[in-house]
Structure formats: C-alpha cells, structure tokens
Amino acid sequence: MTILVTGGAGYIGSVTVERLLAKGERVVVLDDLARGHRSAVDPGVPFYHGRVGDRTLVARIAAEHKIEACVHFAAMAYVGESVSDPAKYFENNLEQGVAFVGALLNAGVRRMVFSSTCATYGEPEKVPISEQSPQWPKNPYGWSKLAMERLLDSYDHAYGLKFVALRYFNAAGATERLGEFHEPESHLVPNVLATARGETPDVAVFGKSYPTPDGTPIRDYVHVADLAEAHINALDYLRQGGQSDFLNLGTGHGYSVLEVIECARQVTGRPIVIRVEGPRPGDPARLVADPARARAVLGWQPTMSDLPSILRSQWTWRHKHPRGYAPD
Ligand SMILES: NC(=O)c1ccc[n+]([C@@H]2O[C@H](COP(=O)([O-])OP(=O)(O)OC[C@H]3O[C@@H](n4cnc5c(N)ncnc54)[C@H](O)[C@@H]3O)[C@@H](O)[C@H]2O)c1
C-alpha cells in the first residue's frame, strides 16, 4: 500500500517523504513544482509533475498505485501574497482542493492528513490557542485553508472520509539533506540567515508597534522534522481506525521577531542588521499553540523544536547548500 504525498517537493512535504521512506513506507509524490524542487525528492520515489486539481491525473495515479492514504501538503502558503492576489489562493488551495478530494474519493481513498494552519484562527482572543478557539482568518490564505477544513468535515459526515487536519504553527529548521528554500522567500528564519550569510544587507522587520512586549509579532516555531513525525503518527492513527480530528502542531512557546533575530546572532556569531518596515496586512500579533491535544491524540511531542536547534539546523544546511536546490 502506498501513501500519496501532494506537495512532496516542497519544504515540509519533502522532509515528510524522507521520514516516510525511513520508516519503510511506499510513497508517490504529486507536485507541480510551482514552489517545490524536484531534487528535494528521492529519485527512487515515483514523481508525478502536475496539479492536484487535475482529476484525470489523480485517477491515473490511483490506478497505477494502490493508494491507501494521502498527505495533502500542496498549496500556496504566503500570507502577504494571498492578500494582494486572493484569486491565486482560492483557485489553487480551494478550487483545486475540491477537485482533488473528489478525485481521491472516486478512486476509493478515504484517509487523509491535511496541512492546515494557525492562520485559520485569525487574531486569537486567548493565547495559547486551543483547537476550540474561534476561527476567523485575517487573510485569504487562512480562509482557503478553513474552507478546506469545512469541506473535509462535511465529507466525513456524508462520505466517510477520515482525516486529521494538522494546524501547523511556524515550520522552520532543516534536516541533514533538506531545508527551507523558496524564491522569493517570505519566512523569517531563512531570511534572517540569508542576512547572516551576507546575501542581503539587512532583514526586514514588518511592524514594531504590535501589542507585544517588544512590539514585534510573536510566533510558535516548530522544527520541520518534528512536524514530519506528527504526520507519521497521524497516518498510524487513521490506520488504527481513529476518528477525524483537528490538531494544533506547535510547542506552546512563542518568540518575537526580534528574539528570533537575537538568537540567530548568537547561533551564527554574525551581526544581523535589521530594517524596520510597516506592518504586513494579514499578520496577527501573537500566534502560540496549545499543543495538548496533539500529544493526547497522536502521542506527538516535539523533540527538536527549541529555537537555537532550529536555527542551527537551517544554518548548517545552507552552508552545505549555498545555492539551495539544483534548478529543476
Ligand atoms: N511553512 C509553514 O510554516 C506552514 C505553516 C502552516 C501551514 N503550512 C502548510 O503546509 C503545507 C506545506 O507548506 P510548505 O511550507 O512546505 O510550502 P511549500 O511551498 O514549500 O510546498 C508546497 C508544495 O506544493 C506544491 N503545490 C502548490 N500548489 C500545487 C498544486 N495545485 N498542485 C500540485 N502541487 C502544488 C508546490 O510546488 C510546493 O512544492 C502548505 O499546505 C502550507 O499551507 C505551512
């Protein structure tokens, strides 16, 4: 039996594929390489270059492999871009997502681990954020993911689709072979380290008057390898007949943008110059998880997600891969 991983050439997807292979699972990847890298996927893994909304292709993959379950990472995932170009997000994440889940059900696949996000909570009333917190996203990216959560829930009731929607907080860090590399990059950790490497003269800090102690937004950073492990646990949970669920993946600890930059100065030993800009539309002030349910339901506990380890792993990876991934 095979696991279909969409977005498996992307950042979190490629690390999850690496972990699945290490556990002896059979995997196939579907990715359109809009944001991913072919060389991030082991050459031994069957790779389909295409879009998740292509029902014919999804039916073909299901016919060519005995697909037992799917891990659905494929999505556009930049908050700022979703504010300036919402159509891209609703078309790619939602319209294609609807087609994709429909094609999977037609092919008889009824288990899915879905990449959701803390962006579905919007500006939380209370921190840490539990899964019961109201969901009212602050940006089209969050809405596209929340709509997919609602779709999965409805499809469970009507068609018996069993899923675990994992609401990641901020993924960061690298494994030995795989790290975060996007062009353009909008995430803080790779951008801070690019400045530390001298690739950029300074790193942008978007907004210094948020209602937080130092005025910069606070986020909960989770090591990408810990995230990958949660997907393995979620697949096992579904295999054992677990009920559909929505689970936060975070550490319960938040760091401000300035704290991340200070930690990066210590880890790299390099001065990192900042440039303060206006706040980005769609950015909440504080997103920190209450991860208790993921621990209770999946037995998941992050082990690599302290901030210095996260930064050190991505720093080491970038040194080994100064140009990121080979061009596709
Ligand atoms: N990175 C984070 O901190 C974070 C936080 C919360 C949720 N997420 C979610 O996790 C998932 C993975 O995020 P990531 O950081 O690895 O992003 P990523 O951009 O590195 O990976 C996404 C992959 O999906 C592919 N893709 C996108 N749309 C596609 C489509 N229509 N058909 C086929 N392939 C498509 C891209 O080419 C890319 O390889 C996304 O769903 C994202 O919304 C990420």
Give the tens place of pLDDT for each residue, 80-118: 999 999 999 999 999 999 999 999 999 999 999 999 999
Question: 34 alpha carbon to ligand 1 midpoint, in Å?
Answer: 10
User: Nearest to residue 119, comparing CAs of 174, 74, 76?
Assistant: 76
Percentage of residues in the chain having pLDDT higher than 70 = 100
Q: Which atom of ligand 1 is nearest to the CA of 182?
A: 20
Percentage of residues in the chain having pLDDT higher than 90 = 96
Average pLDDT over residues 228-236: 98
Q: How confident is the model at residue 6 (pLDDT cuts 50, 70, 90)?
A: very high
Q: Which atom of ligand 1 is nearest to the CA of 171?
A: 3
Tokens in use for 71? 């891990």
Q: How confident is the model at residue 323 (pLDDT cuts 50, 70, 90)?
A: confident
Residue 168 CB less than 6 A away from ligand 1: yes
Residues 3/20, Cβ–Cβ less than 8 Å: yes
User: What is the overall mean pLDDT for the chain?
Assistant: 97
Give the pLDDT score at 200: 96
Given a cut of 90, whether residue 14 has pLDDT beyond it is yes
Q: How confident is the model at residue 327 (pLDDT cuts 50, 70, 90)?
A: confident
Give the pLDDT score at 326: 81
Average pLDDT over residues 132-156: 97
What stretches of the chain show up as alpha helix (H) in DSSP?
11-22, 55-64, 79-84, 86-89, 96-106, 140-159, 188-196, 224-239, 257-268, 292-298, 307-320
Give the pLDDT score at 210: 97
Known catalytic residue at 210: no
Per-residue pLDDT of 15-41, as tens digits, reads 999 999 999 999 999 999 999 999 999
Nearest CA to ligand 1 atom 13: 12
| Euclidean distance between CA atoms 174 and 322, whole angstroms | 14
Does residue 12 or residue 327 have the better pLDDT?
Answer: 12
Average pLDDT over residues 130-158: 97
Residue 10 CB less than 6 A away from ligand 1: yes
pTM: predicted TM-score of the whole model, two decimal places: 0.98
Residues 125/181, Cβ–Cβ less than 8 Å: no
Q: How confident is the model at residue 120 (pLDDT cuts 50, 70, 90)?
A: very high
| Euclidean distance between CA atoms 147 and 73, whole angstroms | 15
Question: 142 alpha carbon to ligand 1 midpoint, in Å?
Answer: 13
Residue 35 CB less than 6 A away from ligand 1: yes
Residue 34 CB less than 6 A away from ligand 1: yes
Give the pLDDT score at 318: 94
Please return the burial class of 300, using the count of CB atoms within 10 Å of its CB with bins 0-12, 13-18 and 19+: buried
Q: Which among 11, 89, 121, 141 is annotated as catalytic? A: 141
Given a cut of 80, whether residue 328 has pLDDT beyond it is no
Per-residue pLDDT of 259-309, as tens digits, reads 999 999 999 999 999 999 999 988 999 999 999 999 999 999 999 999 999
Question: 77 alpha carbon to ligand 1 midpoint, in Å?
Answer: 6
The best mutation among 5, 12, 16, 255 to test binding of ligand 1, ranked by most ligand atoms within 8 Å of the C-beta, falls on 12
